[in-house]
Amino acid sequence: MAPPQGTALLERLLRTMAEGPAYSISALAQELDVSEEMVSRMIKELVRLGYLRSMGAAAADACAACPLAGSCVVGGGPRVWRLTDCGTRAGAREAP
């Protein structure tokens, strides 16, 4: 039995993020063919499930040299997430 559509999208997002190094919300939305709002909700769900961890303001210095720094600044600061070990393992799985 195939996973529900929402689960398949979460899995695709994890696989895409695992390919890294960095993606903007808009690039992820385009890659997955969904809205930026949908990507934001999916990221929140992956954080809740323990697959992603928010890097918060601690990443600001490291992001300064990133060529994508200007595109991921939203609401006063960069939004940066890192795959947890669990997220890395899940992102490495092959698509069904």
Instruction: State which fold the 5-92 domain adopts.
Output: Arc Repressor Mutant, subunit A (1.10.10)
Domain boundaries, given as residue ranges, for the chain: 5-92
Query: For all residues of the chain together, what is the average pLDDT?
Result: 76
Q: Which residue, chain included where needed, has tokens 């559509």?
A: 5
pLDDT > 90 in the chain, percent: 18
Beta strands 81-83 and 73-74 are unpaired
Sign of the CA dihedral 54, 55, 56, 62? negative
Query: For position 70, what pLDDT does the model report?
Result: 61
Report pLDDT for 86: 83
Residues of the chain with pLDDT under 50: 1-4, 73-76
The alpha helices in the chain, defined as continuous H runs, are 5-19, 25-32, 36-49, 60-63, 85-92
